[in-house]
């Protein structure tokens, strides 16, 4: 049967088979949904060999998590989410490569210089909090006091029994780390940067 002319009840039968671990059902779903995913993945990743590799990753995840398929919900939505997350993970890994970081910092230096405003956007609060939690304890407290509570160096120094110069130096290091963390972990920015890099 063609995978293109399939009604809901027929697809449900194949999904039930996939959920039960039937290989022929998996093969059918692979044939049907790889055709749907391919254009989207090719738009987001310009290298066909990588698209093929990530497509295999997507369907490996489908097979490994087949027991989680909710037959009452859209399978298309579920698998497209898996595909999108797989692509994001690929870009994130690529963007964390040292050579890639150097290239991106050189290419997008102007944007990086503006990242301090960017990281305090409410849409990235979770990412900011993750970065803060990775700081050493003292540096974390200094960042919170000065950047989030608006304390002066002198005030923070008195609270933490440190010299103002120590507070200043620690804050510079903390801010640099957090800017870099957010810069290279923001999903939308990673995709933008790496796509531009791949086109170059």
- pLDDT digit string (tens) for the chain, length 200 residues: 444 555 577 889 999 999 999 999 999 999 999 999 999 898 888 788 889 999 999 999 999 999 999 999 999 999 999 999 998 888 878 777 777 777 767 766 666 666 566 666 666 678 888 889 999 999 999 999 998 899 999 999 999 999 999 999 999 999 888 888 877 777 666 666 666 666 55
pLDDT confidence of residue 2: 47
182 and 140 in a single domain? The answer is yes
Q: pTM higher than 0.85, yes or no?
A: no
86 and 106 in a single domain? The answer is no
Instruction: Give the number of domains in the chain.
Output: 2
Length reported for the chain: 200
55 and 41 in a single domain? The answer is yes
pLDDT confidence of residue 137: 94
pLDDT confidence of residue 123: 60
159 exposed, middle or buried (CB, 10 Å; 0-12, 13-18, 19+)? middle
CATH at residue 90: 1.10.1740.10
The CA-to-CA distance between both ends of the chain, in Å, stands at: 43
Domain limits for position 67: 8-95
Of 40, 65, 95, which residue sits at a domain end? 95
pLDDT confidence of residue 117: 61
186 and 149 in a single domain? The answer is yes
Q: Pick from 31, 25, 55: which is nearest to 42 by CA? A: 55
71 and 113 in a single domain? The answer is no
Helix axes 8-19, 23-44, angle to 10 degrees: 110
44 and 86 in a single domain? The answer is yes
pLDDT confidence of residue 116: 62
Of 95, 113, 142, which residue sits at a domain end? 95
Residue at 173 is within a domain: yes
State the CB neighbour count (10 A cutoff) for residue 157.
19
28 and 78 in a single domain? The answer is yes
pLDDT confidence of residue 1: 47
């Amino acid at each position: 049967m063609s995978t293109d002319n399939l009604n809901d009840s027929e697809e449900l039968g194949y999904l039930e088979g996939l959920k039960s671990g039937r290989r022929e059902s998996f093969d059918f779903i692979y044939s049907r949904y790889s055709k749907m995913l391919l254009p989207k993945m090719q738009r987001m990743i310009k290298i066909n060999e990588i698209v093929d590799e990530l497509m295999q990753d997507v369907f490996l995840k489908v097979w490994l998590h087949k027991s989680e398929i909710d037959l009452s919900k859209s399978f298309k939505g579920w698998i497209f989410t898996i595909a999108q997350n797989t692509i994001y993970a690929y870009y994130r890994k690529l963007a964390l490569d040292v050579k890639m970081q150097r290239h991106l910092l050189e290419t997008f230096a102007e944007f990086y210089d503006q990242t301090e405003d960017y990281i305090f956007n409410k849409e990235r609060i979770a990412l900011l909090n993750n970065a803060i939690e990775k700081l050493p304890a003292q540096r974390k407290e200094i960042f919170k006091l000065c950047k989030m509570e608006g304390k002066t160096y002198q005030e923070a120094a008195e609270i933490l029994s440190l010299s103002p110069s120590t507070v200043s130096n620690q804050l510079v290091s903390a801010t640099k780390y957090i800017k870099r963390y957010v810069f290279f972990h923001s999903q939308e920015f990673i995709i933008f940067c790496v796509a531009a890099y791949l086109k170059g």
